[in-house]
Structure 1
Amino acid sequence: MSTRPSETAANSARLNGPRAVLMRRGGTCLVLHCEADSLPEVLHWGRDLGPLSDAQLAAWRSARAGVVSGNADVPPRLSLVPQQAEGWTTTPGLVGSRAGLGQFSDFHPTAIEVVAAEGTDQAPSHVRVEAHDAEADLDLAIEIELTASGLVRTRATLTNRGADGYGVDSLLLALPTPPSETLVLDQSGHHLRERETSTHEFTLGSHERTTRTARAHAGSSIHGTCEPGTNWNRGLVHYVHVAWSGNTRTLAERVVTGFQAILGGELLLPGEVVLNTGDSYVTPWLIATWGEGLDEAAGRIHDYLRARPGHPTSPRPVTFNAWEAVYFDHTLEPLLALAEVAAEVGAERFVLDDGWFGSRRDDRSGLGDWVVSVDAWPNGLAPLADAVHAHGMEFGLWFEPEMVNPDSDVARAHPEWILSPRTHRPQEERQQQVLDLSNPDAFAHVRDQLLAVLDGVRIDYIKWDFNRDLPEAVSPLTGRPAYHAQTLATYRLMDTLLAAHPELEIESCAGGGGRIDLGILERAVRVWGSDCIDPLERQDIEAGTALLLPPEMVGSHVASTTSHTTGRTLNLTLRASTALFSHMGIEWNLLEASEQERGDLAAWIGLHKRLRPLLHTGRVVHLDAPDASWRAHGVVSADRDEAVFTFVRMSTSAVRPSVAMRLPGLDPSADYHLVELLPDGVPSDLALSLRSPENWGWWREGVTLPGAVLGELGLRAPDLYPERATLLHLRRA
């Protein structure tokens, strides 16, 4: 990601007195106030307030201040890096010391740079404030950017100017949220059920979410506050995301002085970051969004990601992954047959998963030996790769470069390359440990083996997996915790491969959805949303993922008829219509599918390809279904001329027929023609649920209604059986 916008105007000056900076872009207003004796504070972040003069900003800030008994004689401040020296008495922005000295920061600004982005008529889009702490002899630079979509990005750089080392224990950035937001918003989950979004009361105190093992199946990719009753389309919400693939820490804090804020950054363990003279520590970007409803807040992130120079612009290839078809049974002839069938149904990428290297015939050995197995592949990977390419598909390969089985050549030769405390090994997960990529020798070994494989056969795509947590991640080389260094080394390894093979694409997979963040997505083009591809489970998994990522960056595959992870047997319409909206793929042994199933799957893939330009560029919207037995969402084109919605019946309901559901995102002044959407030749689930055609009502023939009616009054979904789905297509009449 770019660290700063294109500049057309900039001014930099020393800060000798109060200065207010009004940033307005993308429907967002951010008011930044800078004093000569304190770090900058955000007075407002949210709805655009319109133009404000310096005098109005000064008067507004004065009207907000107050001193009460029992507190300091000056009003407290919540700066971007909160300090006790400014009256902030809960979680500080900076925690660190010089062997116990210089613990309480007191940064004073020395310079401010204000930058205007291209095409904004000199409206500030980027501000950089430099400050110095005389006692600890530290420099601090804070960057804050307001993107074209109204998204806020901020980070800090801490530099040691002293003669001895300075240990950084924590460096967090803080943004205020409005007092009307009296609920905390975050996510929880576990492997196969990630990113379940919930709210709870925002009581006085700290509400903290951390990732401590560099994976986040149970973690929260977003953390914020919202008003009571907030849903997808209504209610004020603010939330943040830490763009980092290691350990993270976010807090929602509400204090008795009337402040409430969200703080976020990297979670550092003692001794992880010690700055020698002249060294710097740079925080991850803190990504911050807001909206009236969750969809508007998420849309700011989606628009930002889609505007990046590195965001993929080519159609996202339909991906066949061979894992659930063959598992570790790598035999050329069945795989050649699979590739042929995958091409016939319309797949555009074929991925060979785990089991192609070293002694890897199961998950107990061989991991870390990135050499093509002569037992499984006596003629190398070229026969399969060439056949895949001859079918017009890309060839992808599975790697797990950070991990190692103790039963492997590399672990036997270099046990000192395994992240481990001095006295014992961490607990094994999946019979594997973690390689210390912060060790230059271990890094070079993995880099060279991976490059040799990539140089030996044409590989278009890597499924980069990360299948275990990192407990007790200590580098034997230094004896210190290595989460920070390991994350940077992983980034460096990805960057090295992409530099050597610029056309290569990488997917971030971590036992499914354990590493989904905007740090890894500076290198990867998509994530594997979850190892669970049961379409009923995926409804909520993908809804939670949508709070961060647009659908084209989330892998969602058509599952096997009977789910590998839940045992449910579900029909193809439900499975395919769920995968349709995202980066579509197939995770199914098609050699066992009937001719009818293959034909129907090909029709669904054809429909996806036809809709792909809309699905992967339009505005993602979710319906606030008043009945919990339904899940419904859709995509509306940027010009609001076209939309596709899916309605999924999860279970039976106390209410029958269904209640009406509003369709968001449409043009209220336009008329829309609505009709059921199906691939050619595929029967409708309505035929099963409603049986008699006269019960189908308007759903089959269609109806034309104003956008205002659809958005305010809504419509009833047909009375589907449970575990069924139907699609609705809208076009401006």
Structure 2
Amino acid sequence: MIIHLRAAGTSFVLDARGPRPAAVVHWGPDLGDLTDGDLAALAGAAAPAVPPSSLDEPLRLSLLPTLDQGWSGRPGIAGWWPADGAPVAGLRLLGVRRDGPLAVRLDLGAADGRLRIGTEIELSAHGVLRARHHLRHTGTGACHLTALDVVLPVPAPAAELLDFSGLWAYERRPQRAPWRHGVWSRETRHGRPGHDDPYLMMAGTPGFDFRTGQVWAVHLAWSGDKRLWAERSPLGPGLLGAGELLAPGELTLRPGERYTTPWTVAVHSAQGIDGLSDRLHPWIRARRAPRLPRPVVLNTWEAVYFDHDPDTLARLVDTAAEAGVERFVLDDGWFTGRTDDRRALGDWHVDPDRHPAGLHPLIDRVRRRGMDFGLWVEPEMVSPDSALARDHPDWVLGGPAGPTWRHQRVLDLGHPEAYAYVAGRLRELLTAYPIAFLKWDHNRDLLQHGATHRQTAALYRLLAELRAAFPEVEIESCASGGARIDLGILDLVDRVWTSDTNDPLERQRIQRWTGVLIPPEYLGGHLGAATAHITGRTSALSFRLATALFGSAGIEWDLTTATDAERAAVARWVAEYKRLRPLLHTGTVVRSGGDDDAHFVHGVVAPDGRSALYALVALRAADAALPPPMRLPGLDPERRYTVRPLALGPAARVVQDAPPAWLAAGQVTLPGRVLGEVGLAVPLLTPEQAAVFTVEAV
């Protein structure tokens, strides 16, 4: 059987005629309507020649390539049988089942009868492909599995790779390289994706950017150890692979046991990197969108840290309400003995010294001022200096040995009693108090051999149980900032904390690249103090406001220390955010073509194309006295639009004797085609400034 899945400009053709494992004939641009005869001819025409000194038959790259199939690159499945030392090999296609017009399931078995593998493949109506494997032990004895990946071929025109690295507070740093022979493998061993998560591995035509070029990309929807890899072989094929990174001995299957891989999410775009977002964002929104509208948050962390003085918090509540905040989140420091980051994690009881009447007085004040209440927790961690660690040392992952990280250890959620304790305490908190939101943190790597799979699976189970028991409670995934942002965790949370830094200069880059995969309504971005607490850089209020606007907006600044003028500007910004969030959180994200590190444009275009919002961002000094025009991508080329500046707080700083004529006039009206292809003259922004513009169809 030759299968053609086709949707949203994407075609996926699979040759499943057996008996060998199915092979991908095509994944990429839409091939149109193809008859069975066309598909058979295509599969035949795709069979390569037989070169000298090679297999005596055409090389056929399957979804699970192995050495016994003639593939000498990285195998799609690896493992062995300790009883006889034999490798996992000899796969054969046993059956094919169509599960609708856009889904198929393949059934494979090992030639020795000891394993069965089912492979699910789905193409969404948005053009997003996803696949995963189900492995079942059907033999005797133990099977040590070390890899089970999804492998997809990528055609020769994709000659350049892009993925990501980073570190705490500087996540999602893109890195490009030519795609040469060999394996480019990005592996994370943090017990979470990590700040250096490869995130989304792209292969594209040389020079692909946000608006141009063909791009193929893969992402692993998993919150534990992973690997994304690209391989180009001298034999000819190039491929992208993704799978859970399993430590030796981490996954040992006994007779009858099963293992299901995480989903690999794969996307092709013929319109550059933005084309990936054009498929991923509506697909994510259709699967499980967060509740709208996304509330304006005030988080207390950078405002008060561990100073939970009731009077201080009361003043902050009142000031937040006056600014129009809708959700007040009490961060770290509320539980017994938690006066700094060196103690008390795991002792999840309200501190009687700082909150003698519990959290009720604070929550009552928050709710009287028209806001709902959120609370910070870090359930997967434990402080060595805590009652929990002293009473239950066997619940600590790895025991007392090994290094601490941020003065804490990991609580073993795979231990049934530890799991029950955490689940019980969270249930008690959510029952005792009207908590609308949990900021769920994870502030260290696991650093424990062979524990990641079990820990991640337990986390997913815990989140799912809490969501079922308390469906009105929203959860934010935070992992010392952006170290756990992936499509696995996104199925279970309503918001992600994009990065611990609130420095707008760093945030512009981080939000730009994180938003390729994740829609803006999930991406928490906060207005911080003038001098950023992490970088020490001082930024203009207008730049901070423009940066925090494009996402799930909030505040992490002690507004009680702000001037009257600053608080008034923040209140106006909150009002503008509330007005604009229907556009910001449902529209199409667009970005200027190149990755210019001096100036760039980003924006959101409404689904009906009638309105849009853009930001012109100056990260550093321009390379010319007159920078290039500001092109506004994504507009309907046949419509006419009026472009106007939007004031957010004080005006952005410029150095110019006169503004562009259209800005002096206050607006300009032009066709969308002209705005996208020619653009508008720009104000001469100084470094670390941003200007925001509204666009409305005439």
Which category of TM-score, normalised to the shorter sequence, fits these structures?
Answer: over 0.9
2:283 paired with 1:304: yes
2:56 paired with 1:89: no
**CA distances 1:208-232 after superposition (whole Å, capped 9, x unpaired):** 0011112310121111211111110
Determine the structure 2 residue equivalent to 1:64.
46
The 8 Å contact of residues 330 and 375 in structure 2, kept in 1 or not, is answered as yes
Determine the structure 1 residue equivalent to 2:676.
711
Q: Which moved more, 1:319-328 or 1:624-633?
A: 624-633
The aligned amino acid for 1:111 is: G
Determine the structure 2 residue equivalent to 1:337.
315
Counterpart-to-counterpart distance in 2, 1:496 and 1:52 = 45
Q: Aligned with 1:695: secondary structure?
A: coil
TM-score (norm 1): 0.93
The 8 Å contact of residues 624 and 662 in structure 1, kept in 2 or not, is answered as no
Determine the structure 1 residue equivalent to 2:434.
458
Q: CA deviation at 1:714?
A: 2.1
2:402 paired with 1:426: yes
Determine the structure 2 residue equivalent to 1:618.
587
**CA distances 1:660-680 after superposition (whole Å, capped 9, x unpaired):** 23221111111111111125x
Determine the structure 1 residue equivalent to 2:116.
139
**TM alignment of 1:281-680, pairs within 5 A:** 281-291=259-269, 292-308=271-287, 310-420=288-398, 425-471=401-447, 473-474=448-449, 481-624=450-593, 628-679=597-648
Q: CA deviation at 1:636?
A: 0.6
The 8 Å contact of residues 643 and 667 in structure 2, kept in 1 or not, is answered as yes
Q: CA deviation at 1:624?
A: 2.4
2:26 paired with 1:44: yes
Counterpart-to-counterpart distance in 2, 1:85 and 1:683 = 67
Report the CA distance shift for 1:579/1:247 in structure 2 as closer, same or farther (over 3 A).
same
Q: CA deviation at 1:155?
A: 0.3
2:698 paired with 1:730: no
Counterpart-to-counterpart distance in 2, 1:185 and 1:314 = 33
Equivalent position to 1:166, from 119, 143, 147: 143
Counterpart-to-counterpart distance in 1, 2:659 and 2:31 = 51
Which structure 1 segments of 5+ residues have no match? Answer: 1-18, 117-123, 475-480
Q: CA deviation at 1:298?
A: 1.9
Q: CA deviation at 1:716?
A: 2.6
Q: CA deviation at 1:444?
A: 0.8
Counterpart-to-counterpart distance in 1, 2:278 and 2:596 = 25
**TM alignment of 1:183-198, pairs within 5 A:** 183-198=160-175
Counterpart-to-counterpart distance in 2, 1:582 and 1:502 = 23
Q: Which moved more, 1:214-223 or 1:555-564?
A: 214-223
Q: Aligned with 2:12: secondary structure?
A: strand
Q: CA deviation at 1:61?
A: 2.1
Determine the structure 2 residue equivalent to 1:697.
661
The 8 Å contact of residues 674 and 728 in structure 1, kept in 2 or not, is answered as yes
Q: CA deviation at 1:720?
A: 1.2
The 8 Å contact of residues 626 and 659 in structure 1, kept in 2 or not, is answered as no
The 8 Å contact of residues 153 and 287 in structure 1, kept in 2 or not, is answered as yes
Counterpart-to-counterpart distance in 2, 1:639 and 1:486 = 44
The aligned amino acid for 1:52 is: L
The aligned amino acid for 2:587 is: G
Determine the structure 1 residue equivalent to 2:125.
148
Counterpart-to-counterpart distance in 2, 1:459 and 1:627 = 43
Q: CA deviation at 1:204?
A: 0.3
Equivalent position to 1:267, from 202, 226, 245: 245
2:159 paired with 1:182: yes
Q: Aligned with 2:22: secondary structure?
A: strand
The aligned amino acid for 1:236 is: Q
The 8 Å contact of residues 476 and 496 in structure 2, kept in 1 or not, is answered as yes
The aligned amino acid for 1:451 is: R
Determine the structure 2 residue equivalent to 1:3.
none
2:214 paired with 1:228: no
Q: Aligned with 2:99: secondary structure?
A: strand
Q: CA deviation at 1:691?
A: 6.7
**CA distances 1:300-351 after superposition (whole Å, capped 9, x unpaired):** 111110101x312420001100011110011111111111111110111000
Q: CA deviation at 1:569?
A: 1.3
Q: CA deviation at 1:279?
A: 0.8
Counterpart-to-counterpart distance in 1, 2:113 and 2:355 = 60
Q: Aligned with 1:643: secondary structure?
A: strand
**CA distances 1:253-279 after superposition (whole Å, capped 9, x unpaired):** 101121001010100011111111111
The aligned amino acid for 1:726 is: A
**CA distances 1:683-721 after superposition (whole Å, capped 9, x unpaired):** 432xx42576x5342125111111111222222321112
Q: Which moved more, 1:102-111 or 1:241-250?
A: 102-111
Q: Which moved more, 1:578-587 or 1:716-725?
A: 716-725
The 8 Å contact of residues 624 and 661 in structure 1, kept in 2 or not, is answered as no
Q: Which moved more, 1:526-535 or 1:214-223?
A: 214-223
Q: Aligned with 1:39: secondary structure?
A: coil
Counterpart-to-counterpart distance in 2, 1:399 and 1:158 = 35
Q: Aligned with 1:281: secondary structure?
A: strand
Q: Which moved more, 1:610-619 or 1:623-632?
A: 623-632
The 8 Å contact of residues 519 and 585 in structure 2, kept in 1 or not, is answered as yes
Which structure 2 segments of 5+ residues have no match? Answer: none
Q: Aligned with 2:422: secondary structure?
A: helix
Q: Aligned with 1:38: secondary structure?
A: coil
**CA distances 1:415-447 after superposition (whole Å, capped 9, x unpaired):** 1111117xx722111100101110101111111
Determine the structure 2 residue equivalent to 1:33.
15
2:255 paired with 1:277: yes
Counterpart-to-counterpart distance in 2, 1:626 and 1:484 = 36
Q: Aligned with 2:215: secondary structure?
A: strand
Q: CA deviation at 1:115?
A: 2.5
Determine the structure 1 residue equivalent to 2:92.
108
Identity %: 44
**CA distances 1:87-111 after superposition (whole Å, capped 9, x unpaired):** 2211111111110534142221222
The 8 Å contact of residues 153 and 240 in structure 2, kept in 1 or not, is answered as yes
Counterpart-to-counterpart distance in 2, 1:386 and 1:232 = 47
The aligned amino acid for 2:10 is: T
Counterpart-to-counterpart distance in 2, 1:104 and 1:282 = 16
Counterpart-to-counterpart distance in 2, 1:104 and 1:67 = 27
Counterpart-to-counterpart distance in 2, 1:660 and 1:386 = 52
The aligned amino acid for 2:70 is: G
The 8 Å contact of residues 191 and 511 in structure 1, kept in 2 or not, is answered as yes
2:685 paired with 1:720: yes
Counterpart-to-counterpart distance in 2, 1:379 and 1:326 = 20
RMSD: 1.4
Counterpart-to-counterpart distance in 1, 2:320 and 2:327 = 9
The aligned amino acid for 1:524 is: V
Counterpart-to-counterpart distance in 2, 1:658 and 1:184 = 29
Q: CA deviation at 1:535?
A: 0.6
Counterpart-to-counterpart distance in 1, 2:86 and 2:60 = 21
The 8 Å contact of residues 414 and 458 in structure 2, kept in 1 or not, is answered as yes
The aligned amino acid for 1:446 is: V
Counterpart-to-counterpart distance in 1, 2:275 and 2:156 = 20
Counterpart-to-counterpart distance in 1, 2:145 and 2:232 = 25
Counterpart-to-counterpart distance in 1, 2:68 and 2:41 = 24
